[in-house]
């Protein structure tokens, strides 16, 4: 991701659907207040692969874009799995148990996903993150929307951290009117 010059911004999607990436960017702008209107965006899958599970990649792509735009690292050993709706809501993916087992085999210890199966109707209607629970040795944090997923998925960084100092260099600093902060971000996880 980089600041667009005076020419129109570029959006490049390699290995992922371009339209899907555009929808994710629009949701992040609307729901988190991140500004992509003056930024070039590249989303690329390593190794030249093309992803066939497009909906399952929505949340990981959103987290990657939000992390870059807000200059906050993703929490270590955390994976993400959910489809994102136009309203920013997270939708569960099929075969989540299998996905969690495979993620654990790759060394992940935490997964942020959509609610798999609410324990009761009251919990489903609250719109808040459901309690954390352990599934096959992995901490599962079920979030109702992309804003919650970003809040739980990104590290809380202080102004003295190396990543925030990097953003203060003149060439990397956003213009005052283009500064990106995730609104309603709290550090109480």
What percent of the chain has a predicted confidence (pLDDT) above 70?
Answer: 71
pLDDT digits (tens, 9 = 90+) for 151-183: 999 998 754 444 443 334 333 434 444 455 554
Confidence band for 15, pLDDT divided at 50, 70 and 90? confident
- Rounded CA separation 144/148 (Å): 7
pLDDT of residue 9: 83
pLDDT of residue 77: 97
- Rounded CA separation 38/134 (Å): 41
| Domain chopping of the chain, boundaries | 53-156
CB 56 within 8 A of CB 93: yes
pLDDT digits (tens, 9 = 90+) for 74-118: 999 999 999 999 999 999 999 998 999 999 999 999 999 999 875
- Paired with 6 in beta bridges are none
CATH of 53-156, one of 3.30.230.10, 3.40.1360.10, 3.40.50.1220, 3.40.720.10: 3.30.230.10
Q: Which helix (H) or strand (E) holds 131?
A: none
What percent of the chain has a predicted confidence (pLDDT) above 90?
Answer: 48
State mean pLDDT over 21-49: 88
CB 32 within 8 A of CB 182: yes
Q: Model pTM?
A: 0.74
């Amino acid at each position: 991701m980089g600041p667009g010059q005076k020419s129109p911004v570029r959006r490049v999607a390699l290995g992922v659907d371009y339209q899907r990436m555009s929808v994710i960017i629009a949701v992040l702008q609307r729901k988190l207040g991140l500004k992509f209107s003056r930024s070039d965006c590249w989303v690329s899958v390593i190794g030249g692969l093309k992803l066939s599970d497009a909906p399952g990649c929505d949340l990981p792509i959103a987290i990657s874009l939000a992390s870059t735009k807000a200059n906050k690292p993703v929490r270590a050993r955390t994976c993400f799995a959910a489809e994102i709706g136009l309203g920013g809501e997270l939708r569960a993916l099929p075969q989540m148990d299998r996905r969690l087992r495979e993620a654990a085999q790759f060394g992940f210890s935490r997964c942020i996903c959509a609610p798999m199966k609410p324990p009761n109707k009251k919990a489903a209607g609250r719109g808040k993150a459901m309690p954390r629970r352990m599934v096959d040795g992995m901490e599962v944090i079920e979030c109702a929307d992309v804003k919650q997923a970003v809040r739980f998925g990104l590290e809380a960084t202080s102004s003295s951290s190396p990543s925030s100092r990097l953003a203060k260099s003149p060439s990397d600093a956003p213009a005052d009117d283009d500064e990106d902060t995730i609104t309603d971000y709290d550090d109480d996880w």
